[in-house]
Amino acid sequence: MSLTAFNQLQDVVVVGAGVIGLSAALSIQQRLPKSSIVSVVASEFPCPSPIQGHNTAETASADYASMWAGAHYRPIPYMPQSAYAEQNLSQHQQKFHDQLAQEKQLAVRTAKIMKDIAQQFPESGIQIVPAEEYLETPPQENLLLKTGDVYASGDDCFRVLDRTELTALNHKTASRHEDEIKWACSYETYVVNVHVYCGWLLHRFLSNGGKTITRNLGSLADAFTLGIAKNGSQTPLLVNCSGRNFDTDPATKIIRGQTVLVRNQYNKTITRQCADGTWSFLIPRPLNGGTIVGGTKEIGDDETHARPETRNKLLENATHYFPDFVKDMKDFDIVTDNVGRRPWREGGLRIVVEKPEDGRTVVHGYGAGGRGYELSWGAAEKICDLVLKCLQGEDEVMVKL
């Protein structure tokens, strides 16, 4: 692509320094001519892990979701379109499964890049690990899965556990009959030490000549008038990766998550979905980052402090479900509680171009909910494609809100 194809006076400002904003900024930077300035404006930037003695609660707000994630990649299976009629899916359910099918493409693409990063740059805080899932009440889309299917990625060694293995698992976790595991699988995935990884992304962005500005914006439009990254008289192209914090989109809402970081180090990620809709999971953090014991999903709950009774229940449940990790409550070496807000949005990630006013262009990339890490590179590439099209003046990509 030739340099002259771009409007050279237009620079790019990404609002947001979460995993989506940083991945998008890096992707844009790699594909724009060197003379363009890419900046990231955010009220909050990556901070170090509490396991290194820093208190994350003092350096990151609950609204900076990227600092509170586990994080692992746990695929969400969907019903294939060919089964909609037979399964009597409602319009609403069909829309949801269409969304999951699209997200799978982003997730598989992201997994490829994350695994490459893990292999080339172990210092990035990404590691490839074995994964297991135990479901007490498996939905139909799980029951349709077969060993060898592409679950997390093309080479994930996906396997559905057989009856004998289920019996052994149920015996091992001493389950009562009513919370028996009915379906389980194993595969290969990756886990993320979120503080190390976001710091690594930021470092790469800065090394490539990127700029950062710490600013709490009253509205997204304020970023047009910052006078930063502006070469000439034109306003920059804005990329809205603000999570859900501007809160002008009625489709977004808070899903509170509380987890516990312990120093005890596990070596695979396990998720148990209980019959009552609760979850119990372990996520090891690479580079001796400890293990995340989780976790809650509390819709519309805006409490930003950790609830001690929730911490106890999470740890107690983990001893019950994962006895080969920590058998007794007193053996947990607790580092800290985590409380974060997932930037959930009805319909999923919003990646579109908007022209709110003449001469101004916004590319949106927000609303990743509980999947920001696992969709990050796929989302960043889509955002980047739209940015390049806008800079090349391809007006047909514009949508009016």
- Each residue 55-74 as x (binds ligand FAD by CB under 6 A) or -, in order, gives ---------xxx-xxxxx--
Residue 274 binding: pick among ligand NAG, ligand FAD, none (C-beta 5-8 Å cut-off by kind): ligand NAG
| CA nearest to 110, candidates 384, 385, 381, 383 | 381
| Rounded Cα distance, 389 and 241, in Å | 18
Torsion sign over Cα 323, 328, 329, 332: negative
Listed ranges 118-126, 138-146, 167-175, 214-222: which one lies at the site for ligand FAD (CB under 6 A): 214-222
User: Residue 99, Cβ neighbours under 10 Å: how many?
Assistant: 16
Listed ranges 87-95, 153-161, 166-174, 240-248: which one lies at the site for ligand FAD (CB under 6 A): 240-248
Cα 172 from chain centre: 31
348, 107 Cβ separation under 8 angstroms: no
Q: In this chain, which of 259, 291, 310, 361 binds ligand FAD, going by CB under 6 A?
A: 259
Q: Phi and psi of 317, rounded to 5°?
A: -60, -40
Q: Phi and psi of 337, rounded to 5°?
A: -90, 150
CA distances from 14 to 124, 275, 309, 364 (A): 22, 41, 39, 10
Q: In the numeric block, which tokens belong to residue 179?
A: 């919370």
| Rounded Cα distance, 210 and 212, in Å | 7
Write down the least CB distance from residue 134 to ligand NAG, Å.
12
Residue 382 binding: pick among ligand NAG, ligand FAD, none (C-beta 5-8 Å cut-off by kind): none
Q: Does 295 bind ligand FAD (CB under 6 A)?
A: yes
User: Residue 5, Cβ neighbours under 10 Å: how many?
Assistant: 12
Write down the least CB distance from residue 132 to ligand FAD, Å.
15
Write down the least CB distance from residue 54 to ligand NAG, Å.
26
325, 282 Cβ separation under 8 angstroms: yes
Q: Does 348 bind ligand FAD (CB under 6 A)?
A: no
286, 193 Cβ separation under 8 angstroms: yes
128, 286 Cβ separation under 8 angstroms: no
**Residue placing its CB nearer to ligand NAG in the complex, 37 or 255:** 37
User: Residue 151, Cβ neighbours under 10 Å: how many?
Assistant: 25
3, 392 Cβ separation under 8 angstroms: no
Write down the least CB distance from residue 147 to ligand NAG, Å.
20
**Residue placing its CB nearer to ligand NAG in the complex, 52 or 275:** 275
- In one-letter notation, the amino acid at residue 229 is A
Residue 43 binding: pick among ligand NAG, ligand FAD, none (C-beta 5-8 Å cut-off by kind): ligand FAD
Residue 20 binding: pick among ligand FAD, ligand NAG, none (C-beta 5-8 Å cut-off by kind): ligand FAD
Residue 348 binding: pick among ligand FAD, ligand NAG, none (C-beta 5-8 Å cut-off by kind): none
**Residue placing its CB nearer to ligand FAD in the complex, 69 or 170:** 69
Residues that bind ligand NAG (CB under 6 A): 8-9, 35, 37, 87-88, 130, 220, 231-232, 240, 242-249, 252, 267-268, 274, 276, 278, 296, 310, 313-314, 317, 364, 366
Cα 243 from chain centre: 11
Residue 138 binding: pick among ligand FAD, ligand NAG, none (C-beta 5-8 Å cut-off by kind): none
Cα 199 from chain centre: 16
Q: Does 290 bind ligand FAD (CB under 6 A)?
A: no
Residue 368 binding: pick among ligand FAD, ligand NAG, none (C-beta 5-8 Å cut-off by kind): ligand FAD
Q: In this chain, which of 21, 125, 236, 284 binds ligand FAD, going by CB under 6 A?
A: 21
Chain residues binding ligand FAD by CB under 6 A are 15-21, 42-44, 64-66, 68-72, 215-217, 241-243, 245-246, 257, 259, 295, 338, 340, 342-343, 366, 368-374
